[in-house]
Structure 1
Amino acid sequence: MNEERRKLILDTLDLLAIDWREYKLPGHDDPDTLHIIPVSGGSDSKCMSLILPAMFPNKRFIFVFTDTKAEEQASYNEFDQISEWVGYNVIKIIPEKGLYDLIDDYNGYLPSGQARYCTRILKLKSLDEWLEKKFFKICSHINLYVGIRFDEDRFGRLSNHDDVVQMRLPYLDLKMERSQVYSLLAATTGISPVYKHSSRSSCNCCFFKRNSERVMQCIEAYSEFNSVSVHEKLSDSYLEKLDSSKMFNAIISKYPNYLSNSALQSPYIFIAKPVSTLTENLPNPPKPIRNNTSDTTLDMFDASCNYDTDNFETVYIAVMFLVKPEDEYGIYRGNNDTFNGVYFTKIVNYSRNLNGLKRSLNYVYEHIMSTAELYNETQESMLRHLRIGIYEIKVPTGQLELDRVDKESYTWAGNGMSYRAIEQNLTIMQWILVRKGKLTHLEFLKNKLKSRFKEASKLPSFEDRLLEKQIITAGSVWEEYTKAKKSYIRSYNNTVLAMGEVSWSGIYKNIGLDKLPSVVAKQRKLDKENGNVEGEYTCIACSL
């Protein structure tokens, strides 16, 4: 590591108030002690591989990765970056059989939280065999420096040779937490793009992934998502149920590979009214969509809707928006005076349960704030610009698949949702949101023209009224309206494609940076007590 980069890392540690000078490297003076940093392609191990060589420039560290042949390509790119920064190659332990080969050996039986043969064989066994073969005869002690943070509670063993191999946890002594790890990476090498859809390093198919991570993987890394999907084992009856969705079939018939080819971060996606910075700071901003009934269960958004529950299914979906403050509109609006401040959108999760979705958004929000750099933001600017809209969508029964797979099927997901169902549900929900957004824009243009025609009708003479109407119909608004109307009719020209609607919308309340750690810690504790996988940390072996 060159001196300039070393100084940058140490200066950043000082800015983050990390008391690194007091940390003592175990076995520092023992020539028979080997120092190994396992790297996984994730942020915690990457940060560890930077700070220890910077803190101890005269000590030789070995960097090692246990491959599963099922990592995302962006993770492999991280190893090249680590090597370039520290001046030593990352050693890759490559197995003869990767994860998908192992699955075939296990007769197609997928790994799960109860049957983690992937961890045992590809991580722990591979590391143990490599250590024994390479180093047991030449050294008496081996320190493995593992990236378990101060704010985590995942522990375990990485080796069966405790007499020789010791797991060391520098982050605990340095009191380094999630935000500090990401801040150091943001100031040095940058954060891996994998973190646009994943909160932790893992195989692309890991059963520890949260539902929100699978949803965002489908959007941000569709090819990776699809490569996982094809290895699920779904029964004929379950596949028949998926194939019976008329709406999904109509969408992909009109637009094949909709998710991979469509702009999921669509500028036309329907925007929850409170998200718009044109209106959210008004004394009396527009309220969310509402359809009044006696139902009061949705008073979080002052909205409710009355549907025949036998004929419709309800799903709740969350969309991330990035907006610009009103004083910055000029550089984004250009000639379009309808710009509402939103310049980025992304679906981040969905659930059939509103409370479940709201709980999951605490983790999503924490992760987005931690990885603000990936969106060209700082944490402070992200706090100002981030909005998360929440929508209730009603869809005719039989179009979505919101149930767990049947007993004859095997899926990666801990919540029992198949990847195929996630893709199908996202396709339908995104279609409805974009359709609603286009219709809302069409109504806006229509009302604008109505207002101008109304003003024209007040002119005193017939000639003036006629001339003004001719000017209006020859103008840019009329042209945009007719173009948008034709496009809308062309896209949604049958009853199946017009199925479903947004019944109400609202906004997730952002959490202040000072309160965020305690809110998430409390949420994680409750999830752990209730056995909710959304709150789990990844397996410790995934640090390898």
Structure 2
Amino acid sequence: MSEKKVRHILALSGGKDSSALAVYMKDKVPEMEYVFCDTEKELDETYEYMQRLSQYLGKPIHTLKYKSGYGFDEILKLKRGYLPSVQSRWCTECLKLVPYEEYIGTDAVISYVGIRADEPHRTGYISTKPNIKTVFPFVEGNIRKADVFRILEEAGLGVPAYYEWRSRSGCFFCFFQQRIEWVGLLERHPDLFKQAMDYEKIDPITGERFTWIQNESLAELARPERVAAIKEQHAKQQLYAKKNQAHLKLKDVFETEDDGETPCLMCHL
């Protein structure tokens, strides 16, 4: 009986780095399997980009979901209506990690992660399961941010359209979004902004507020005067970043209100 082959799997988030890694590895590992953990709450731009990427790769991108095909709304009910947060990232666990590891099963797998050579502070998805080996081809190949853009441009893909106003992939209501990105959602996808706002609630007994942003509801953020203030603050931050670019970390160039928390890298690569 022949020994079972090692599987090669690359999980795509819909972001530039994992997409560029798929292009980079296309001819290096022809047997690569591509997967996308669908929360059912991604931006239309993300789904459109996944279709284009699949056509370029000449292979299907397997869509993975939680047990019984559950999406975000079904799991939210199981969580008794408690929204995910920085303190409780059940969205990443249930909608990304569990489907991915279920897809792998007990097979011997090499998992490819798009951490770049200029990101020594990031670790990405590393499973503790003994049958999964995680590798970082961009680190090994000294591939940096500029190289990622070059790889995608040369492939004729470019970057997903949401990069015009958003710094990362993920659910349209991701709680790691900066306020300027919420403004972008409000202006470009008002229907999705309304959906995100509808998830927020106030406990009628305790008065406790369950909102995506700490200390601010989306209804409050959407007020014209608040939107104007956020835009003004972001413009000042960008101007400061431009003047001091050589001394700033990458995240400081875009983010205006970083809370020091690290986004879920399984979602945002």
TM over 0.5: yes
Give the match for residue 72 of structure 1. Answer: 43
1:539 to 236, 246, 264: 264
The separation in 2 between residues aligned to 1:408 and 1:423, in whole angstroms, is: 21
Alignment-derived partner of residue 221 in structure 1? 189
Contact kept? 1:196, 1:220, Cα under 8 Å: no
Aligned CA distance change for structure 1 residues 517 and 120 (closer, same or farther; 3 Å): farther
Which residue of structure 1 lines up, in the alignment, with residue 242 of structure 2?
A: 511
Query: Match for residue 181 of structure 1?
Result: 148
Aligned counterpart in structure 2 of residue 126 of structure 1, from 77, 99, 103: 99
**Are the structure 2 counterparts of residues 517 and 169 from structure 1 closer, same or farther at C-alpha, using a change threshold of 3 Å?**
farther
Aligned-pair CA distance for 1:177: 2.5
Alpha-carbon contact 1:144-1:166 (below 8 Å) kept? yes
Q: Which letter does structure 2 place at the counterpart of 1:122?
A: L
In the other structure, the counterpart of 2:178 is: 210
* 1:144 positional shift: 0.9
For 1:510 and 1:175, locate their aligned partners in 2 and report how far apart those are by CA, in whole Å. 26
Is 2:193 the counterpart of 1:416?
Answer: no
Q: Which residue of 2 aligns with 1:146?
A: 113
The alignment status of 1:155 with 2:128, answered yes or no, reads: no
Q: Which residue identity is paired with 1:67?
A: D
2:35 alignment partner AA: V
CA shift for structure 1 position 407: 5.8
- Deviations along 1:445-498, whole A, 9 cap, x unmatched? xxxxxxxxxxxxxxxxxxxxxxxxxxxxxxxxxxxxxxxxxxxxxxxxxxxxxx
Matched, 1:231 2:204: no
Deviation of 1:221 after TM superposition, in Å, equals 2.3
Residues 279-428 of structure 1 aligned to structure 2 (within 5 Å): 408-413=208-213, 415-425=214-224
- Alignment partner of 2:109: what SS? strand
Q: How many Å apart are 1:31 and its aligned residue?
A: 8.0
**Is 1:40–1:543's contact at 8 Å kept on the other side of the alignment?**
yes
Tell whether the 8 Å contact from 1:108 to 1:233 is kept in structure 2 after alignment. no
Q: Is the 8 A contact 1:38 1:64 kept in 2?
A: yes
Find the aligned partners of 2:242 and 2:41 in 1 and give their Cα distance.
35
Would you say 1:88 and 2:40 are equivalent positions?
no
Question: SS at 1:91's partner residue?
Answer: strand
Q: Deviations over 1:59-89 (max 9, x none)?
A: 3111001111111111111211111101001
Q: CA deviation at 1:157?
A: 4.2
Judging changes above 3 Å, is the alpha-carbon distance between structure 1 residues 130 and 40 closer, same or farther for their aligned structure 2 residues? same
Contact 1:154 1:539 in 2 (8 A): no
Residues 1:534 and 1:80: Cα distance change in structure 2 (over 3 Å) = same
Q: Is it true that 1:520 corresponds to 2:249 in the alignment?
A: yes
Give me the whole-angstrom Cα distance separating, in 2, the residues matched to 1:74 and 1:426: 28
CA offsets 1:321-361 (integer angstroms, 9 cap, x no match): xxxxxxxxxxxxxxxxxxxxxxxxxxxxxxxxxxxxxxxxx
Query: 1:38·1:543 contact (CA, 8 Å) conserved in 2?
Result: no
TM-score (norm. length: structure 1): 0.43
> What CA distance in whole angstroms lies between the structure 2 residues aligned with 1:159 and 1:510?
36
Match of 1:117 in 2: 90
Q: How much identity, in percent, do the aligned residues show?
A: 26
Tell me, which stretches of 5 or more residues in structure 2 are unaligned?
none
Q: Which residues of structure 1 form unaligned runs of 5+?
A: 1-29, 238-405, 434-504
**Number of the residue aligned with 1:45:** 18
Number of residue pairs matched by the alignment: 256
Show CA shifts across 1:381-401 (max 9, x none).
xxxxxxxxxxxxxxxxxxxxx
Residue 160 of structure 2 corresponds to 192
Q: Secondary structure at the match of 1:508?
A: helix
User: Equivalents in 1 of 2:157, 2:239: separation in Å?
Assistant: 32
Shift of the 116–428 alpha-carbon distance from structure 1 to 2, 3 Å rule, reads closer
Determine if contact 1:210/1:534 at 8 Å carries over to the other structure: no
CA drift at 1:126: 1.2
Tell me which of the two structures has the higher relative contact order, counting C-alpha pairs closer than 8 angstroms and 6 or more residues apart. Answer: 2
Q: What letter matches 2:212 in structure 1? A: W
Is the 1:196–1:216 Cα contact (8 Å) retained in structure 2?
no
Greater Rg over alpha carbons, structure: 1
**What letter is aligned with 2:11?**
P
